[in-house]
Chain A
Amino acid sequence: MSTGAIIMMIIGCGALWGGCAVSLGIAFKHRNKN
């Protein structure tokens, strides 16, 4: 498997799940407000 494919696979999963984790963190931080 080429380096480019590996990098894009990691970016694809990492960016989306990372974004989801950040959003969940924000929601958790403000859980009492909502």
Chain B
Amino acid sequence: MREQWNTKAGFLLAAIGSAVGLGNIWRFPYIAAQNGGGAFLLPYFFAILTAGIPILILEYTIGKTYRGGAPVALARINRKFEWLGWAQVMVAFMITIYYFAIIVWVVSYIGFSFTQAWGNDPTTFFVKYLGLTSSGTDLGGIQTSLIFPFLLVWIIAAVILYAGIKRGIEIACKICLPILLIMIVILVIRGVTLPGASDGLEYMFRPDWHALGDSSVWVAAYGQIFFSLSIAFAIMISYSSYLPKKTDVVNSAFITATANHGFEVFAGIGVFSIIGYMAMQQGVPVADVAGAGVGLAFMTFPTAISTLPALNAFFGVCFFGALFTAGLTSLISIIQAVVSGMQDKFGMNHKKAVTVVLIPAFLLSILFITGAGLTILDIIDAFVNQIGITACGVLEVLLMTWFFNPEKLRAEANEFSNFSIGKWWTWCLKIVTVIILGIMLILNTKTFITKGYGGYAQLDVNIYGWGSIAIIVIGAVVFTAMKGKDGYRDLHEISRKEVE
């Protein structure tokens, strides 16, 4: 008997917890500011309705109806689609090994917040803390200061995953999400009451309507929606496979998407109001200090925390605590996507599948606490996201809408829904999503081929960037070719009724 979520609310919290990750806090505000400010919301809303929610409905329907991790669920639709499920699982595995490292840094920075250990120069502090080497091939040894937080994060993740869906992931998300929300509310209230906050918010929300004529702004909006929702790398198919059959997947997709995107807009208000205050204190324009990603979290924001008038440690813990809870709920969902893939194909029990996934992930993630960790992470993250996830997304939508009957999937989505989706859903996926994701994939691949990435040495880009893409492809081929448990080979013959 397949394990199920204890409650629908538990599933929704886990799905929202997966979607709300580090990118919601450190990526969205800057992307919005750089792509038309307030005007960016127009393509952003359009992308939510034409791509984000339709793909979520698609993945929830696949998972709930065909009841398996991505490889098995897709194989049950058509045996020839299994490789795509494994490609998605391999993408999730690659993300697992580097995502750990970021949470390890976050845990350290929660500790550093108490004394603002980064001092007056957080950038130099961060570089020294990581023992950063000059290239990805110069590992520089394991950084001993990272070993304790590294083990701590691994233990927390392992405890949650071994406890299973109901007693592990569901409970962890029920604890983490309210904490995350409280911390972000505290940061927003503190942020908007600071002098200079309006400058930061003006920078983020000032509408530049001319930007809407720029196609790259629309691609950026679709990219933000696509990368923010944990879609196309096996997570949502895996999570929804643990739903009771009579669950409304359509409304669940609307709840997940609106909560996730509502959160990132709200968090952006907190982040940019504090950045605005910092810019005012330093007497520089907001544009000079605004940023995204690792730089924002570990270099810019520590500076902002140090400049706050009071309770610096408290607000530091709130910011890094928010990153930790957002990151942890996303991390366990990514690993669970791999676990359910292994469990379903090879007929393992849950604990054995967790062990089989965690041991290689643990060993490989050691690479990211060496001096080359940040360099390797940056390259793999770019390639796995921009090429790996985008390719998996466009292939998934292409296969489901052009090589399978999307109307059958729509009927399955509507079967227990509180409100039905019309043909707009099919056409959004079949035309809009395929074209936009296809363009994104072509542009990203072309850029990586012609310009490399991030100014890194071509050797590093080849080893870690193209190497990770090669591992995903090889892994997908090998796992597809491997013999599964008895009866697995005949899954294409299993009718939907038998699957239920």
Q: Which residues of A contact B (CB under 8 A)?
A: 1-2, 4-9, 11-13, 15-17, 19-20, 23-24, 26-27, 29-30, 33-34
Contacts and interface: CB of A to CB of B under 8 A. Distances in A.
B418 interface: yes
Contacts of A15: 45
Contacts of A20: 254-255, 258-259, 262
A16 B78 CA distance: 36
Interface residues of B, number: 31
A9 B201 contact: yes
A11 B258 contact: no
Nearest to A31: B8
Contacts of A27: 8, 248, 251-252, 255, 418
B41 A5 contact: no
A28 to B, nearest CB: 10
Interface of B: 8, 37-39, 41, 45, 198-199, 201-202, 204-207, 246-248, 251-252, 254-255, 258-259, 261-262, 265-266, 269, 416, 418-419
Given A9-B201, A16-B261, A27-B255, 14 more contacts: A5-B37, A5-B206, A6-B205, A8-B39, A9-B205, A12-B205, A13-B265, A13-B266, A17-B258, A20-B259, A20-B262, A26-B418, A33-B246, A34-B416
A20 B20 CA distance: 14
Contacts, number: 82
A23 B258 contact: yes
B262 A5 contact: no
A11 to B, nearest CB: 6
A5 to B, nearest CB: 4
B112 to A, nearest CB: 31
Nearest to A21: B258
A27 B11 CA distance: 13
A17 B202 contact: no
Contact of A30 (B39, B41, B248, B255): B248
Contact of B265 (A6, A16, A23, A34): A16
A20 B12 CA distance: 12
A4 B255 contact: no
A20 B45 CA distance: 13
A1 B202 contact: yes
Nearest to B252: A27
A23 B265 CA distance: 18
B8 A7 contact: no
B255 A2 contact: no
B202 A8 contact: no
B326 to A, nearest CB: 17
B255 A23 contact: yes
Contacts of B45: 15
Given A1-B201, A5-B202, A16 B207 contact: no
